[in-house]
A and B are shown apart, each in its own frame.
Chain A
Amino acid sequence: MPEPILAVAGVSKTYKGGFTALHHVDLAIRKGEIFALLGPNGAGKTTLISIICGIVTPSSGTITVAGHDALGDYKAARRRIGLVPQELSVDMFETVLATVTFSRRLFGHPANPAHIERVLRDLSLWDKRNTKIMALSGGMKRRVLIAKALAHEPEILFLDEPTAGVDVALRRDMWKLVHGLREQGTTIILTTHYIEEAEEMADRVGVIDKGRLLLVEEKAALMHKLGKRELDLTLVEPLAAVPPGLERWQLSLVNDGKVLRYVFDATEEHTGIPSLLRALAEQSISFKDLETSKSSLEDIFVDLVGERA
């Protein structure tokens, strides 16, 4: 594997109150990938990002950004990073253009009106460039935060819960932008607690819970793992055993033989459901109800933690 653009090694964080939010996290991000950090609220996603960006001090461990130690050589490390935080923290009294230009300069670059204009246009903010931020809607404020993070042309972009409370239009614009940035070689790390979002966006996914990074996988492999669903058929007549001829679906009987259960992979092109239903009809096994369920993120975490234990 080529040298990672970002390497997190043995990072732990215990907050002042004594709460340990991160337990010895190791993570290597490849240049140019879109990486999703997936985990429920309170998992430690924001803490990890804040440590990488220099906002929170790690209790132990090291972070290397493009070969530069994030503590020792922080200027070289931070110049490469752009952060869109989870909270809508913006300067209310500034105009859009002023605050985005400020960000570019703060990160050590001379003003570049052409670049700023491009960023603002990409985010549909150009018409609002002279508007004070306090007059913008929540969605527009988030766009401003994204523009600020992109003002200094970062190599690595962090998006902390980018779609939390965001409308459809912004979501669409944001994904377009993210893909455009990826085309240009920007590495993108986003956090989310929606599996769908990780699935939609990422090349690789890391699952984090209770401060531990449980696994890091290629999206396809993980989705396979996470994509298991159950089809429950409530039978008209309970069965004592799975009838012969249905072996290829590996069915099971639950609820005293009243429910026939089929476990399938929703991410596969052929789920095997139509053929199963045809086979049941041929054998005159009739059912009165049909229900599919998918494992929730919580279930998956339980599974993953179970696997590890």
Chain B
Amino acid sequence: MNLHGVWAIYRFEMARALRTLWQSLVAPVLTTSLYFIVFGGAIGSRMQTVDGVGYGSFIVPGLIMLSLLTQSVGNASIGIYFPKFTGTVFELLSAPISAMEMVLGYVGAAATKSVVLGLIILATSAFFVPITVLHPGAMIAFLLLTALAFSLFGFILGIWAGSFEQLNFVPMLLITPLTFLGGSFYSIDMLPQPWRTVSLFNPVVYLVSGFRWSFFGKGDVDIALSLGVTLGFLVVCLAIIAWIFKSGWRLKS
């Protein structure tokens, strides 16, 4: 196993984030604060509680998920897209490193960044609303699994993308709407039919629900189902990546 190679990629990717450390910290803190002012303050004052939880506290898991998904996809996709764009990918392709080792480096770094970001948002939230985490182990597990799964998805996106437009297109037109419609800021029980049933086809519902369960012991769907969907998504992404490297799709001519 080429651990030095994995470590080199991981460090390279982390260094990229550290160069813009200030933005990496300020942006999520600011955005989170804005959400609390708008959703928690303005709307939450009329909603009071959802499932017996104060609205401000209720949206914390969804808020973290929203950032986790967009940042995982964004970080991992740019990480592999940029070498393709500049041509430096030749070095990765000619290096004695396996597909899975490369994924470990890129996806590991992207996932690390989003988990740190998730924790920053959690800490920021604690300034605005009371936060209790009923199942801290499950909370961390969901955080890690989701970050990994969507970083893998981002990695695939980065390999697929042929332009910066395409790179931005998917997060904007797929991830953000799915997250907003995935019960980040409401319980899907609050939706009228048929939208409640339609929502069940949105994989993000299961992520948010599982994550919320780890906070409040309650979610929109069963916790086992949440975990199953998250793991399933992860496995599908891994399989696609294995195929990409085997076939050289979009990487080799």
| Chain A residues packing against B (C-beta within 8 Å) | 15-16, 50, 53-57, 74-79, 81, 83, 85, 87, 89-94, 98, 102-103, 105-110, 148
Contact = CB atoms under 8 A, between A and B. Distances in A.
B169 interface: no
B193 interface: no
B253 A108 contact: no
30 contacts: A16-B253, A53-B90, A53-B94, A54-B93, A55-B90, A55-B252, A56-B253, A57-B248, A57-B253, A74-B96, A75-B96, A76-B96, A78-B94, A78-B95, A79-B96, A83-B91, A85-B90, A89-B86, A89-B87, A92-B86, A105-B4, A106-B9, A106-B92, A106-B97, A107-B4, A107-B5, A108-B4, A108-B5, A109-B4, A110-B4
Nearest to A52: B94
Given A105-B8, A107-B5, A91 B253 contact: no
B166 to A, nearest CB: 19
B160 interface: no
A55 B8 CA distance: 20
A208 B27 CA distance: 56
Contacts of A102: 8, 11-12
A106 B8 contact: yes
A112 B90 CA distance: 23
Contacts of A16: 253
Nearest to A85: B90
A93 B87 contact: no
B252 A105 contact: no
Contacts of B168: none
B96 A107 contact: yes
Nearest to A74: B96
B94 A54 contact: yes
A284 to B, nearest CB: 65
A65 to B, nearest CB: 11
B175 to A, nearest CB: 26
Interface residues of B, number: 26
B2 interface: yes
A105 B12 CA distance: 11
Given A93-B19, A105-B7, A108-B4, A15 B253 contact: yes
A75 B98 CA distance: 8
Contacts of A90: 86, 88
Contact of B91 (A15, A79, A109, A148): A148
Contacts of B87: 85, 87, 89
B95 A107 contact: yes
A94 B15 CA distance: 9
Nearest to A73: B96
Contact of B86 (A91, A103, A108, A110): A91
Interface centre among A55, A57, A109 (most CB of B within 10 A): A55
A78 B86 contact: no
Nearest to B248: A57
